[in-house]
Amino acid sequence: MKKVAFYTLGCKVNQYETEAMIETFEKKGYENVSSEEYADVYVINTCTVTHMSDRKSRQYIRRIKKINPNARVAVVGCYSQVSPEEILDIEGVNLVMGTQDRIKIADYIDTLTHEDKVSTVDDIMKVREFEKIEISQTNGRTRAFIKIQDGCDRYCSYCIIPYARGRVRSRDLQDIIDEITSLSSIGFKEVVLTGIHVASYGKDLKDERVGLLDVLKAVNEIEDVKRIRLSSVEPVLFTDEFIEKLKEIDKLAPHFHLSLQSGSDGVLKRMNRRYTTSEYEKAVEKIRENFPHVALTTDVIVGFPGETDIEFMETVSFLRRIRLTDMHVFKYSPRKGTPAAKMETQVSPQVKQMRSDTLLKIARENKVKFLDDMIGLEFDVLFEEEVDNMYVGHSGNYIKVAVKSEEDLLNKIRSVRIEKRQEDFLIGNLVID
């Protein structure tokens, strides 16, 4: 049997698209194997948010050619979309595909030898329709990522993604429901609605009345779905009206990833972010008022061009004040083709590292405080794996919880009383009815 291996970088959208591509290969008789195993075909699903992801892609291509010099190598995704010629020039690459038509990847690769070089990348800005790809297997997991939207029109000054993903394209609502219904019927208890900018869902559809809330309401009606999560959203989404309607969706998990990027209004303006720190803080307050024990996580960039010591300290002060549950901290990485890459007063790597260390310390303090506040409370936990004789899963607010049990808890939801914290997760006992 022919073998295919995938190496995936980047976001949850990429992970979803990899799962869909795996299925296209399996339908043609391929066996999916580990990314480090011998395979006839290797597919690298790339990210281009940072230079690091570009470098990882190139390193992996060189590594797999040592495993099988005659393998056919396909490189797809965001890095491919914005730099197809650069990738095609890499020794060993046979097929370059961007962020469209990946459902055809198995057909393309089967027409090539390990010596061919072909690019199918086209102008993504001309694409108007959502590419219909879907998954139909559980692969032993309990949480399904469902892509409902592609593209972005926000054009943050540091971000290459709008140029890699193109215009906003929303998936047909019935397609979303059909896929989730199918997956939930074979075991998935939780779904995560994901996309490049999920808040934009519906803005390109002919029926302007259809939006993100309509997706949430429809998924909420699927009987076998027990929990719904949203991927990253912006604070301006959380108006009073939106929050009131969210509260009606009883399966919605109380966990929101609110994109921040900076706690300085000056930096936010240069980033072309479309909110202020005041608006962000008000959104946080409203969410906490309406969703008990809600987890609020975020992303922050340090060392954005021109970020002064004063502006960085504004970010520090802001993050200490609003005490988010957790945050991912990124050191700014210039992306060719973005306005920020041309800005003067680029911040030195040493300063970026010091600022990153400072925010990571705050993130750790906030997370520990949040976890400690959960001790003594009860949460419904969806158990996903067994580790060291304990069942481990996540609560609705995305706390990792572990319990001991004689009962097989995998892919089951049980009420747990939290007893103590151990590093980054909580230990609890099952609540007996």
User: Rounded to an integer, what distance in angstroms lies between the CA atom of residue 26 and that of residue 4?
Assistant: 9
Counting beta carbons within 10 angstroms of the beta carbon of residue 161, is it exposed (0 to 12), middle (13 to 18) or buried (19 or more)? buried
pLDDT at residue 306 in the model: 97
Q: Is 404 helix (H, G, I), strand (E, B) or coil?
A: coil
Residue (of 84, 3, 69, 80) closest to 45 by Cα position:
80
The DSSP element (H or E) to which 13 belongs, if any, is helix 12-27
Tell me which of 3.30.70.1450, 2.40.50.140, 2.60.120.920, 1.10.10.10 is the CATH number of domain 378-430. Answer: 2.40.50.140
User: Rounded to an integer, what distance in angstroms lies between the CA atom of residue 143 and that of residue 191?
Assistant: 6
**Alpha carbons within 13 A on the beta-carbon side of 231:** 23
Whether 3-122 and 378-430 share one fold: the answer is no
Residue-range domain boundaries for the chain: 3-122, 378-430
Cα distances (angstroms) measured from residue 89 to each of 58, 86, 116, 170, 327: 11, 5, 12, 34, 37
pLDDT at residue 60 in the model: 87
pLDDT at residue 139 in the model: 61
User: Rounded to an integer, what distance in angstroms lies between the CA atom of residue 265 and that of residue 104?
Assistant: 45
User: Rounded to an integer, what distance in angstroms lies between the CA atom of residue 194 and that of residue 11?
Assistant: 10
DSSP E strand stretches across 254-377: 255-257, 295-302, 326-331
CB 190 within 8 A of CB 235: no
Torsion of CA 82, 6, 128, 48, to 10 degrees: -30
Q: List the chain pLDDT tens, one digit each, 433 residues.
A: 899 999 999 888 999 999 999 999 999 999 999 999 999 999 999 988 776 777 888 888 888 888 999 999 999 999 999 999 999 998 889 999 999 999 999 999 999 998 999 999 999 989 989 988 878 765 667 899 999 999 999 999 999 999 999 999 999 999 999 999 999 999 999 999 999 999 999 999 977 778 999 999 999 999 999 999 999 999 999 999 999 999 999 999 999 999 999 999 999 999 999 999 999 999 999 999 999 999 999 999 999 999 999 999 999 999 999 999 999 999 999 998 999 999 989 999 999 999 999 999 999 999 999 999 999 999 999 999 999 899 999 999 999 999 999 999 999 999 999 999 999 999 999 998 7
Structure tokens at 3: 């073998």
Counting beta carbons within 10 angstroms of the beta carbon of residue 26, is it exposed (0 to 12), middle (13 to 18) or buried (19 or more)? middle
CATH class of residue range 3-122? alpha beta
